Amino acid sequence: MVGAHGSAPASPGTNIRNTIWTVILSQIFLFMGIQGSGKGTQAARLSEKLGIPHVSTGDLFRDHIRRQTPLGKEVKRILDSGELVPDDLTSQMLRERIGQEDAQKGFILDGYPRTRPQAHHLEDALRGRNDAICAVFFFDLPEEEAVARIEPRRVCTTNTAHIYHLKFNPPRSDMVCDHDGAPLMQRDDDKPEAIRKRVGEYIQQTIPVVEDYEERGLVHHVDAMQSIDDVTRQMLDIIEGLSC
């Protein structure tokens, strides 16, 4: 993971596999894998154990929208129109977040980058702080298991922050929110056909990024079929053996 780097910044259209940095200074971890593989759960756990922030683009969007920042207003306009937030706007938010004091010793990126252009934005941001990726954790999970984990998810029709799982965290009354008595619903994104579509998009767009990181010796595969505690133990064992 340690090597010389004297080339010019890579352009978004080029491959990142030959981008190697001189030193690794911080605990910078990327958590990658299909939806439902447990990235967010483990990011929250390891964030607490390692004392570094858990950073996800979804949280960044929601935070900026809540604070009504100029970036947040632009993101809200884009999302309300049904469009995807462009990489350069996401990159601006990411640079701002990892520039904060609590991220100087490292951070966990949950589900980012998803594409090679996003990977280049990340490399540029890390170059700006003379840093590099310490390790990439890829959560191995079969597609059908992802469907089985996500399909039972239900959300409150009044407050979508009230989330249930019909198997692991069911409401006390059938299809009724415990907090406000509102009916629950299944989001379109949680339906099997939508999950499979996102898995297909992930394979097409993100697996090439993972392969690039594989060639740089950064990827550690995690068996996401294990229990939550076993996954955490596996990851902490891997981290203990790293040099960053």
- Hey, is 217 helix, strand or coil? coil
Contact between 50 and 78 under an 8 Å Cβ cutoff? The reply is: no
Provide the pLDDT for residue 85. 87
Provide the pLDDT for residue 79. 87
Catalytic residues: 39, 114, 153, 187, 198
27-142+199-240: which CATH architecture?
A: 3-Layer(aba) Sandwich (3.40)
**Count of C-beta atoms within a 10 Å radius of residue 225:** 14
In sequence order, the β-bridge partners of residue 111 are none
Residue type, 103: A
| pLDDT tens per residue, range 199-237 | 999 999 999 999 999 999 999 999 999 999 999 999 999
Provide the pLDDT for residue 143. 94
**DSSP, res 189:** G
Provide the pLDDT for residue 209. 97
Judged against a pLDDT cut of 60, whether residue 7 lies above it is answered with: no
* Arithmetic mean of pLDDT, 97-109: 95
Report the C-alpha gap between 243 and 231 in whole angstroms. 21
DSSP state letters, 65-130:
HHHT-HHHHHHHHHHHTTPPPPHHHHHHHHHHHHTSGGGTTEEEEES---SHHHHHHHHHHHHTTT
The least confident of 6-15, 76-85, 111-120, 168-177 is: 6-15
pTM of structure: 0.82
